Structure 1
Amino acid sequence: MSEKSRRTPPLVADKRYGATRSVQPAAASKSKAPPKPGTAKPAKSKTSTSRRAKPRKRSSGGGIGGFFRRVFGWILGLIWRITWRIGFVCLLILGLAVSYFYTTLPEASALLDGRARGSVTLQDYEGNTFAWRGDQFGGVVTVDSVSPHLKHAVIATEDKRFYYHIGISPRGIASAVRINLSEGRGPLSGHGGSTITQQTAKLLCLGVEYVPSEWKSQAEYEADCRRGSLLRKAKEAVFALAMEVKYTKDEILGIYLNRAYMGGGAYGAEAAAKRFFDKSAADLTPAESAMIAGLLTAPTSLSPTNNLEKSQNRAAVVIGLMRDQGYLTEAEARDALTHPARLSEAAEARAGGYFADWVMSDGPEYFTRNTTEDVIIRTTLDPRLQRAAEDAMRYIFTEKVKEGSKAQAAIVVMSADGAVRAMVGGRDTRVTGAFNRAIQAKRQTGSSFKPFVYATALDLGRSPLDTVMDEPFCMNIPGSGQWCPDNYTRQHYGRITLAQALRDSLNVPAVKVSESVGRENVRKVAEGFGIKSDLALGPALALGASESTLLEMTGAYAGILNGGSAVTPYGLTELRLLGENEPLIGAAGGIGERVIRTEAAQELIWMMEKVVSEGTGRRAAIPGWQVAGKTGTTQAARDAWFIGFTADYVTGVWMGYDDNTPLSGVTGAGLPAEIFRETMVRVHEGLTPKPLPMLAPAGASEALDPSANRDPVGSGVERFLQNLLGGGGEGSQNIVRNPER
C-alpha cells in the first residue's frame, strides 16, 4: 500500500475537541479560509456545524428538568382543557337559570306592594292622619317621585356602586366575609355584602309568592324568605342577575323603596314618610331622608317611635356618608346635623292612644281588628281638644296629686250630638293597647246619677221650684229591713226646692223624689239617655248605686244638653277602602229618640248651672262661660266624678283607684272638678262664650233663697211618700250613711 493511501485524516481530532483548535491557531485559520474557486467546500465544515447544533437540542429537552417541565406543561394543558369546558357548562347553566327567572318576573309595576293587606289608617275630623293599625303601605312611589335626598341616602347607605354593578358585587361580598370572620362570626353571618338588587330579590322572596294555605302565618313566610344558607345566597345572586336583565336600575330601586320594611309598621318610603313625619316621601328633607334610610339596617330597633335618639344618631352616620359621596355639600350636611329630623305629632302620640284603641274596638270587626283590606277611617277626633285633655291631666297630677300616688283618672270630651272629640283613659296619656278607664271601667256613679232623677220629675210636670222636705228618713225594703239614707253633711235643711236639693247634692230629697215619680220611670229615663249598664233595683238607684262607664255617663249628659234626646257616643264618621272614594259605612252614632220634653231638659240645665255657680261644683266654673254639671262621690270615696258642659262641649271626668282603694281627701267637688275646669279652659281657648240653652222658672231667684219656704206641690209629694213608705223619723234604726256630695 502506498504511503499516500495510508495517511490518516489530520483534522479528525480537531472536529471533536475544541481545545486542539485553540492550541493550533494557524490550522484553525486555514480551516476558516474561503475555498478556492472551483473547489468543493470541505466536508469537515458541515460535520462540525451539525454536530455542534445537536448537543443544544439535547440539553434543552433532555434530563430531569426537561422531564418535569414536559409533565407540568401537560398537566396545565389538561386543566385548561377541563376548566374551559366546565366554565362553559357553568356559564350555560347560569344563562339558563337567569333566563328561567327572567321569564317568571312580571312587570315592575306588579311588584310594588307585596305586603299582606290588612291595615287601618285613622284620620281626625278634618281628614288628617293621626294613627295607624296593622302593617301600613302608604302608596306607590317611583325613583322620580320621591325626594332626591331619599334616593341618595339609600344608595349611599346600602349600595354606593348600585348604578355600576351587574346585580352582585364580588368585592362587597368578600369585604363582608372578611368583616364577619374578623368579628368572630361565620362568613355568612352578620354583614351580607348584598347589593340593593340582591336585597330586592330577597324582598320578593326569590319569586315565591305568599299563599295563606301553604304557610302558618305571614311571619313564617317572611322568616323563610330571610334564610341565609349558601344555596339560597347562590339562588339570590342568580335572581338578582335576572332582575338586572329584566328591569332598569331605577325600576329595581323603585321596587325596593316600595317594599322595604322601615319600622313602625310602615312598608315603603311613602308609608314611612307619613307615619314618622306626616308628609309625602316627595317632600322629605335631607335629615328626614337620612333617618328613613338609616332604618333599613334595623327597622325595629332603630324606629324613631321606639327610640328617637338612637334613630337620630344613625341618621347622622348616613348624613356623613351622603356628604363623603358627594350627595350633600358641607353646608347641607352641617345643617342636617344641626337640625335632626323630628317626629310628627301623630308619631309622638304613639299611634293615637286611647281614642284610636276605642275606635278600633267599637268599629265593625271585619274592617278593624280582623280586616283583610286596607281601610281608611275618618273619626270625630279633634287633635286640639285631645291635647287639651292630656295637658289638663298632666297638670293636675303634677301639681295637685301627691307624688307616688297610684290614683287614676279618665276624661271624655264630646259634642252635644255624641261625637267624641277627645279621650284619655288613664294618667299615661300616650299609650297603645292599655286599659282604657273611659270605656272599660264600670264604676258606681254616685250623685252624678241624680240629674236623671230630677229629669224624670221635670218631664212628669214637676217644677224646679217644687219643694221636698229634707229630714231624717227611713223606709222598709222587703227582705232587707229598714234603710235610712243620710246626707253627706249628716245635716238636714228642712223644706227646700228641687233646685236646691240638686245644687247641694242632698241624698234624702233625691231618694224621696225618685220614689215619688217611680223608680221604674227613673230607670227608663236613664236607659233612654244611654246608660245601658244594669241599674240598681232598690231605692239606692237614686244615689248612684248602679255602675256605668265614663263614656256612657258623658253621653247621657250630652242628651240633656241637646234638649232631651238620646245620643249614642261615636267616634267613626266614615269608613272606606284604600283607593276608593265611596264610603262603605257612615257615622256609627249621633242623636236618637227624644227621652224627655225640651222644656224639662232646659229646666234641668238651669238647675245644673246652679250646681256650678252656687253649689258643690264651684271649682268647675270657667270665667266668662256658663257651665252646668254635677259632682259625684261614691261609698267610702272609691270613685269621684264630675260631668258637665257648656253650650259647645260636654266633658266627663272620673277619678279613683283601679283596685277600688278609697281616695284620700278627694270628692267629685275636688280634683275631678279641677280636671274638668283645666280641660274646658283649654278646650274653649279662643272661642266666643255662648249662653247655655236653659230655662229658668218664674221667681227662681227668690225661690233659691234658703230662707224661702214655698211648697207648690211639695206637700203632695210628702203625703204620697208618707202613704207609700210608712213614714220614718228620728228614731229610725240601722242608719246606712252614704257619704255623698
Structure 2
Amino acid sequence: MAQKRGRKPLVADKRYGNPPVRRPKKPKSKSKNKRLFGLFKRRTAKPKTSNRAPKRQVRRGPLGWLWRLISWCVGLVWRMTWRAAAVLAAIIGIAVGNVYIGLPEARALVDGRARGSVTLLDRNGEVYAWRGDQFGGVVTTDTVSPHLKHAFVATEDKRFYGHFGLSPRGVASAIRINLREGRGPLSGHGGSTITQQTAKLLCLGVEFDPKQWKNEAAYERDCRRGSLGRKIKEAIYALALETKYSKDEILSIYMNRAYLGGGAYGAEAAAQRYFGKSASQVNAAESAMLAGLLTAPSTLSPTSNLQRSQDRAATVLRLMEEQGYLTEAEMRASQQSPATLSKAAQARAGGYFADWVMDTIPDFFGQETTEDVVIRTTLDQRLQTAAEEAMDQIFSTKVRAGSKAQAAIVVMSADGAVRAMVGGRQTRVSGVFNRATQAKRQTGSSFKPFVYATALELGYSPFDQVRDAEYCLHIAGSGQWCPKNYTNRYYGDVTMTRALRDSLNIPAVKLSEAVGRDLVRKVAGDFGIESDLADGPALALGASESSLLEMTGAYAGILNGGSSVAPYGLVELKLLQDNDPLIQTESGIGERVIQRGAAQQLTWMMEKVIAGGTGTRAQLPGRQAAGKSGTTQAARDAWFIGFTADYVAGVWMGYDDNTPLTGVTGGGLPAEIWRETMLRVHEGLPARPLPMREPQPIAREIPQPTVRYEQPRERPREQGGGQGLGRAIDNVLRGIFGN
C-alpha cells in the first residue's frame, strides 16, 4: 500500500483530456444591504451628461447608401480644397515674395515719366505754356493739402485704409455693373483699389524698352491691358506693394505718378498747371477738380472743358461729404465757388508761339526730351492778348457770321524778337496749323518796298519820276505781258514816292527791270525772305510766296536801319537743374543789307502810305507809322505790314483753300486789324518819331525815250539821293522812265 501510494499512475495524463481548470474563487461580495443601497442609488441618480455627440444611426437601404456616397464626395472635395488652397497660398506667397524682393525704396518710384518736360517762360520770366510730360516735384501725403489727399481717397478707393490691397467687394460690384451694361466681366469698370492702380501705373515693374515696344504709347497700352492673366499679376504686385510699403507711401506714389491731363503728371504739376500754386495750397474745390481728373484726364481737363471739369468736381465734393471729410456747409460753399484756372492756364498763352519755338529747337531738347527743360522766350503776354483781342473785334464786328476766312498776326521788335503770334482765328489752341509760320502765300504789293529799297541803295531819289503808262514785256515761252494798275488807269509821270504810296504796279515793274530782278531778289533774300522768289518781271508785284513771319521780319530790317533780321523766339534754354544755358540768343540782327540813309528814306516813303495812301485805315492817332498793303490776284490774299518806332506788325488774311476774298484788300480789313493791334500794343507808351529822313527835293527833267530797253542792267551804287547821275545812265533808263 505504501508502494502504491508512492508511485505515479500508469495512465497518461492526457488520455482523457485536460483536467478541468480551477478558477480562483471570487472575493466575497458586499453585504446584501449594501448591494440594495447601490442599486437604489443608481436608479435614483440623475443621468450624466456627455459632450460626445451621439452616434449617428446608420441608415440602411438605398437612402443610406446615397447618404454615404454624398458624405464621401463632400469629404473628398473638402480634403482636395484645403490642400489646393494651401498649395495656392504657397504659390502666391512665393510670387509676392519674389516681387517684394525686387521693389526699391518708395521714393524711387514717384517719377515714372518716359519723357521730360518743357516749360516756357515769357520775357518777364512767367510761365505761359508747357510741353512734354510735366512733373512738378515729389509730394507726399504729409506735404499735400489734406483736402487733396481726402479727395483722392474718396474718389478712387474709400476703403483704401482698411483693405489689404484687393477689394473683393469692389471687384464683384464692378463685374455686376459690367454684365448689366452688356460688357464682358473684365471690360469697363475694374473695381481696382488705389494699390492696384498704383501697380498698373508702375507697369508691374516693367520698364520701357524701345527694342520691345514700338513707342511709348504702345508700352502704355500694354501696361493697361485688362486680360485675366494681367489682372492676376496685378493682384500679386498689389499684395507685394502692401507688404513693402505703408498705406501713405502707396498713396504718395499714386499721387505723384497719376496723369492729370494737360501734360501734367502728378499732383504738384497739375496744381501748378491749372491753378498756379503748389499742391500743398489747393483748397477743397481745387482738390476735388484734380481728383475728378483721374477718371478721364484728357476729357475732363479744365483747359479742354472747364464746365465739365467743374461738374465732375461737384460730384467729388459730395463724395467727400458723404465720407466725412467735409461738412455739408463746406461742401455747399465749395460747390458754389468752383475752382477756376490761373491766368497762364486760361490763356494757354501763345499756343501758336509755343509751337513755333518748339519747332526751332533740336528734338532732343523739345518733343523727344528725356530731361526737364526750361526755355525763356521773347513773348510778351500783354502784346499777345492785344493781338488776340484785335482779331476778335474785327471778325466779330466787320466779318459776316459764318465766314471761314482766316487771319494771322505777328508782332516783333526791330531786332527780330517776336513778341506776339496769332496763327488763326482760334487763339487758345496748340498743335494746329499755324498760318503765321507755315502758310506760304503770294505777297502782292507788300513786296514792293524791297524793289524801292534796291533803287534807293543804288542812289535813286524818292523824287525821281517814272512814267505810269501802258507798258508791255515779252516773256519767253509766255508771250507778251502787260501789267496794269489796280484802278485800270494810268497817271503819267509820278515820283517813286507817289508810286509806292498809291501802290502803282507799272512803275514798280519798270523800276525792278531798271535795277535788275536779280538784285531785287538778292536784297529781299538778304532781308530775310528765304522762300523761292519768282524769276519773271512779276517779281516786283509780289508773285512769289512767303510766310507772314518772314515778311514781318524783313520789314523789321527796314525799321532797324537796313540790317537783316532773323526772327527769333528763344532767348535761353537750360536744363531745370542747371544754371548755365545750353542755347542762348541775344539778338536777331544780322548783316547790313542797305545803307542806313536808304532805309530812312524808304521809311519816309512808307510813312506816306499810311498818312495818305492805300493804308489810311491803319493810321494811329498821334503816332507816326509806316507800312504797305498788299493784295494778290483775285484777292486770294490780303496783307498789311507796318511799323512804328517801337514795334513791327504784320497781318495776313485769306482762306485756307485759296477762295478769293469778297470786297477785301490789304488796305481794308487787314489794315484795320493792324490798327487795332497796334493801338493796344502801344497803350501806355509815349509817342516816338519814326527813324526816317526826308530827302531834298530835286527838280530833274526826264528825257524822251530814244531806245527800247530790253535787258536792264544794274545801276551803279551812288549816294546823295540820286544826285550826280551820269548821262550814260540817263540814256539807258530813258526807255523805262519815259517822258
Q: With structure 2 as the length reference, what TM-score do the two structures score?
A: 0.84
Structure 1 residue 311 displacement after superposition: 1.7
2:214 alignment partner in structure 1:
216
Seen in structure 2, the aligned counterparts of structure 1 residues 378 and 51 have a Cα distance that, compared at 3 Å, is same
Q: 2:454 aligns with which of 448, 453, 456?
A: 456
The 1:719–1:238 alpha-carbon spacing in structure 2 relative to 1, beyond 3 Å, is same
1:308 is matched with 306
Q: In the alignment, is the contact (CA less than 8 A) between 1:146 and 1:283 conserved in 2? A: yes
Choose which of 316, 320, 327 in structure 2 pairs with 1:329: 327
Partner residue in 2 for 1:606: 604
Q: Name the CA distance, whole Å, in 2 between partners of 1:509 and 1:85.
A: 103
Supply the distance in 1 between the matched residues of 2:654 and 2:723 (Cα, whole angstroms): 37
Residues 124-523 of structure 1: pairs in structure 2 closer than 5 A: 124-349=122-347, 352-477=350-475, 480-523=478-521
> Compared with structure 1, are the counterparts of its residues 245 and 471 closer, same or farther at alpha carbon in structure 2 (3 Å cutoff)?
same
2:572 paired residue number: 574
Matched, 1:585 2:574: no
Q: CA deviation at 1:729?
A: 8.0
Give the secondary-structure state (helix, strand or coil) at the position aligned to 2:651: strand
- Distance change (3 Å), C-alpha of 1:449 and 1:233: closer
* Residue 645 in structure 1 maps to residue 666 in structure 2: no
Question: 1:697 — aligned with what?
Answer: 695
Structure 2 equivalent of residue 41 of structure 1: 34
With over 3 angstroms needed to count, the CA separation of the structure-2 counterparts of 1:453 and 1:718, relative to structure 1, is farther
Displacement after TM superposition at 1:561 (Å): 0.6
Q: Is the 8 A contact 1:467 1:712 kept in 2?
A: no
Q: Which amino acid aligns with 2:210?
A: P
Note the alpha carbon deviations across 1:445-485, whole angstroms, 9 max, x for none. Answer: 22211211221222223332333333444445556554433
**Distance in structure 2 (CA, Å) of the matches to 1:86 and 1:475:** 99
Q: 1:56 to 1:103 in 2, by over 3 A?
A: closer
Which stretch has the larger CA shift, 161-170 or 628-637? 161-170
Please tell me the residue identity of whatever aligns with 2:55.
G
Gaps of 5+ in 1: 1-36, 704-710, 731-741
| Partner Cα distance (1:134, 1:87) in 2 | 48
- In the alignment, the residues of structure 1 paired with residue 529 and residue 73 of structure 2 have an alpha-carbon distance, to the nearest angstrom, of 96
C-alpha spacing 1:717/1:615, structure 2 compared with 1 (3 Å): farther
Q: Matched residue of 1:238: which SS?
A: helix
Q: Distance in 2 between matches of 1:609 and 1:713?
A: 20
Asked whether the equivalents of residues 476 and 725 of structure 1 are also in contact (C-alpha less than 8 Å), the reply is: no
Give the 3-state SS of the residue equivalent to 1:297 in structure 2: coil
1:665-684 alignment, distance < 5 Å: 665-684=663-682
Cα separation, 2, equivalents of 1:486 and 1:212: 62
CA shift, 1:712, in A, is 9.1
Q: CA separation in 1, counterparts of 2:49 and 2:471? A: 142
Whole-Å separation in 2 of the counterparts to 1:61 and 1:431 = 84
The correspondence for 2:110, drawn from 104, 109, 112, is 112
Deviations 1:372-407 (A, max 9, x none): 444332222222212211211121122112233332
User: The residue matched to 2:204 in structure 1 has which SS?
Assistant: helix
* Structure 1 residue 83: Cα displacement: 6.3
Matched residues in 2 for 1:56 and 1:663: separation? 110
- Give the aligned partner of residue 22 of structure 2: none
Please tell me whether the aligned partners of residues 406 and 653 of structure 2 are also in contact (alpha carbons under 8 angstroms). Answer: yes
* Residue deviations 1:554-604 (CA, integer Å, cap 9, x gap): 000000111111000112222223433322212296000011111221121
Contact 2:629/2:641 (8 A) holds in 1: yes
Residues 247 and 92 (structure 1), Cα distance of their counterparts in 2 relative to 1, 3 Å cut: same
Distance across 1 between alignment mates of 2:726 and 2:332: 81
Identical aligned pairs, as a percentage? 67
Query: How far does the alpha carbon of each residue in 1:268-319 deviate from its partner, in whole angstroms, 9 at most, with x for none?
Result: 1122223333333222222121111011122233222333222211110101
Rounded to whole Å, the distance in 2 between the matches of 1:62 and 1:234 is 45
CA distance in 2, matches of 1:713, 1:199: 79
Q: Name the counterpart of 2:58.
A: 64
- CA-CA distance at 1:349 after TM superposition: 4.5
Q: By how many angstroms is 1:109 displaced?
A: 1.1
For residue 540 of structure 2, what is the amino acid of its counterpart? A
Which one is further off, 128-137 or 314-323? 128-137
Distance 2:409 2:249 in 1: 50
Matched with 1:738 is: none
Q: Give, in whole Å, the separation in 2 of the partners of 1:441 and 1:59.
A: 95
Match of residue 525 from structure 1: 523
Q: Distance in 1 between matches of 2:647 and 2:53?
A: 113
Given the superposition, is the C-alpha separation of residues 468 and 333 from structure 1 closer, same or farther in structure 2, using an over 3 Å criterion? Answer: same
Conserved in 2, the CA contact under 8 Å of 1:346 and 1:352? Answer: no
Change (3 A) 1:171 1:605: same
The range that moved more, 387-396 or 668-677, is: 387-396
Q: CA deviation at 1:717?
A: 9.5
Compared CA separation, residues 570 and 538, structure 1 to 2 (3 A): same
- Distance, in Å, in 2 between the alignment partners of 1:298 and 1:276 is 16
Residue 679 of structure 2 is aligned to residue 685 of structure 1 = no
- Residue in 2 that maps onto 1:657: 655
Q: Which residue, 111, 120, 123 being the options, matches 1:122?
A: 120
- Counterpart of 1:539 (choices 534, 537, 540) is 537
Mapping 1:711-722, distance limit 5 Å: 720=729
Q: Distance in 2 between matches of 1:78 and 1:201?
A: 38
Q: Which amino acid aligns with 1:468?
A: V
SS in 1 for 2:568: coil
Q: Quote the offset at 1:415 in angstroms.
A: 0.9
For the residue of structure 2 that corresponds to 1:214, the secondary structure is: coil
Kept in 1: contact 2:467–2:737 (CA 8 A): no
CA distance in 1, matches of 2:594, 2:316: 65
CA shift, 1:206, in A, is 1.9
Residues 510 and 221 (structure 1), Cα distance of their counterparts in 2 relative to 1, 3 Å cut? closer
Shift of the 218–514 alpha-carbon distance from structure 1 to 2, 3 Å rule, reads closer
User: What secondary structure sits across from 1:378 in the alignment?
Assistant: strand
Contact 2:350-2:421 at 8 Å conserved across structures: no
Cross-structure match for 1:16: none
Secondary structure at 2:147's aligned position in 1?
Answer: helix
Query: 2:554 maps to what in 1?
Result: 556
* Partner deviation per Cα, 1:703-729 (whole Å, 9 max, x = no partner): 9xxxxxxx9959969985764575698
The one-letter amino acid of 1:404's match is G
Q: Is the Cα–Cα contact under 8 Å of residues 467 and 738 in structure 2 kept in the other structure?
A: no
- Which amino acid counterpart does residue 483 of structure 2 have in structure 1? P
For the 8 Å contact 1:467–1:714, the answer to whether it is kept is no
Q: Cα distance 1:501–1:344, how it changes in 2: closer, same or farther (>3 A)? A: same
Aligned residues: 686
Query: What CA distance in whole angstroms lies between the structure 2 residues aligned with 1:163 and 1:56?
Result: 49
* 3-state SS of paired residue (2:171): helix
| Residues 91, 713 of structure 1: alpha-carbon distance in 2 compared, 3 angstrom cutoff | closer
SS in 1 for 2:467: strand
Q: Distance in 1 between matches of 2:475 and 2:175?
A: 85
Residue 658 to residue 228, structure 1, CA distance change in 2 (3 Å): closer
1:520–1:328 distance in 2 versus 1, CA, 3 Å = same
